């Protein structure tokens, strides 16, 4: 499948009905995953609030993992070194384990192994990776999926605002800085990483209200300040957050771009904001004359590490 078709396939992937059996007696959760696979756990963290959830991004696991922990390892390839090590440690600690992958070693390691369709880049398989979590925990139902499909389909057809953002960034060689509102950290992270991988542009994600306690001083007076391009992502209907955004913008002299996040509830809004990142980074890559699919440096690194 062409890379652009892979991106477009997100809305279809999102409709899959994969679920896994939940153990009855878990008290906390860890989701372990890196890069394009790890984002699934981060989205889930923005949407799930019932039990304690730790999102893990390394080889090691927290010492408190035990038989009351539901440990979910996500690796699209099924062979991510960090995630395999973490899942192995979780098994040793007696945790109840689930894997989500398209195959590979991890699909033979956990007690429950969810296997999704393969052949895509991990960052283009996000719908497959996140759906089992959203389905299992009833975060979305089939009517909700239909609405997400429609929202993303609309976006696939009409993305003038995102084209403008991409062209402003590339023409003026700007560094996108995502400023997320509460509940949208995963979306900010997706924007950053899609700019990294697709467009090969450095990009950073910061969070309101924390950024008002430190970054704001630098936004006002840093050198290179004219080269940063701040984009606010999130639900701006909270009046205290609206106040913050406008005061931060006024005090720093930046005109923030505000992403118009569509959707009726958090899951719709996050999926919309996430898919926007796919577009804008794809177009930025094309405008730079680069291949958005190319992640050869990451591949080279992986082969260096196993030497």
Active-site positions read 197, 213, 302
The 112-115 sheet, strands edge to edge? 52-56, 28-32, 69-74, 96-101, 112-115
Whole-number Å distance between alpha carbons of 286 and 291: 7
Q: Which is nearer to its own copies, 28 or 136 (CB)?
A: 28
Q: How far is the CB of 100 from its own copies (least distance, A)?
A: 17
Q: How far is the CB of 198 from its own copies (least distance, A)?
A: 9
Query: Dihedral angle at the C-alpha atoms of 131, 20, 62, 266, nearest 10 degrees?
Result: 30
Q: Which is nearer to its own copies, 215 or 268 (CB)?
A: 215
Q: Which is nearer to its own copies, 156 or 286 (CB)?
A: 286
What is the Rg, in whole angstroms, of the alpha carbon atoms belonging to the chain? Answer: 19
Q: How far is the CB of 290 from its own copies (least distance, A)?
A: 7
Q: Which is nearer to its own copies, 164 or 202 (CB)?
A: 202
User: What is the three-state SS of 235-302?
Assistant: CCCCHHHHHHHHHHHHHHCCCCEECCCCCCCHHHHHHHHHHHHHHHHHHHHHHCCCCCCCCHHHHHHH
What are the φ and ψ backbone dihedral angles of 100, each rounded to 5 degrees?
-125, 120
CB 66 within 8 A of CB 93: yes
Q: How far is the CB of 200 from its own copies (least distance, A)?
A: 4
Where along the sequence are the contacts to its own copies (CB under 8 A)? 28, 34-36, 38, 49-52, 54, 57-60, 62-64, 82, 173, 175, 182, 192-193, 195-197, 199-204, 207, 209-210, 212-225, 227-228, 240, 243-244, 247-248, 251-252, 290, 295, 297-298, 300-301, 304-305
Q: How far is the CB of 235 from its own copies (least distance, A)?
A: 13
Return all residues near 32 (Cβ < 8 A) that are at least 6 apart. Answer: 38, 41, 55, 56, 57, 61, 71, 72, 73, 74, 82, 83, 86, 87, 90
DSSP state, 73? E
Find where tokens 């239909």 sit. 146
Q: Which is nearer to its own copies, 30 or 148 (CB)?
A: 30
Enclosing H/E stretch for 142: helix 142-157
């Amino acid at each position: 499948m062409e890379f652009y078709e892979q991106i477009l396939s997100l809305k279809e992937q999102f409709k899959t009905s994969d679920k896994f059996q939940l153990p009855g007696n878990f008290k906390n959760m860890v989701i372990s995953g890196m890069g394009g696979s790890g984002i699934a756990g981060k989205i889930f963290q923005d949407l799930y609030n019932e039990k304690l959830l730790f999102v893990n991004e390394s080889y090691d696991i927290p010492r408190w993992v035990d038989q009351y922990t539901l440990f979910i390892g996500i690796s699209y390839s099924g062979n991510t070194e960090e995630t395999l090590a973490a899942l192995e440690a979780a098994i040793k600690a007696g945790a109840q384990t689930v894997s989500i992958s398209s195959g590979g070693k991890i699909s033979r390691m956990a007690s429950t192994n969810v296997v999704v369709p393969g052949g895509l880049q991990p960052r283009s398989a996000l719908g497959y990776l996140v759906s089992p979590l959203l389905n299992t925990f009833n975060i979305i139902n089939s009517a909700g999926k239909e609405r997400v499909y429609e929202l993303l389909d609309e976006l696939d057809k009409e993305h003038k605002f995102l084209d403008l953002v991409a062209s402003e960034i590339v023409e003026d060689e700007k560094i996108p800085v995502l400023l997320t509102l509460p509940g949208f950290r995963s979306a900010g992270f997706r924007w950053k990483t899609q700019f990294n991988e697709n467009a090969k542009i450095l990009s950073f994600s910061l969070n309101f209200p924390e950024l008002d306690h430190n970054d704001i001083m630098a936004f006002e007076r840093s050198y290179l300040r004219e080269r940063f391009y701040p984009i606010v992502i999130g639900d701006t209907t909270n009046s205290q957050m609206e106040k913050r955004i406008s005061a931060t913008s006024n005090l720093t002299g930046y005109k923030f771009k505000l992403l118009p996040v569509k959707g009726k509830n958090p899951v719709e809004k996050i999926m919309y904001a996430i898919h926007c990142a796919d577009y804008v980074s794809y177009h930025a890559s094309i405008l730079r004359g680069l291949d958005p699919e190319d992640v050869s440096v990451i591949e080279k690194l992986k082969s260096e590490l196993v030497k």
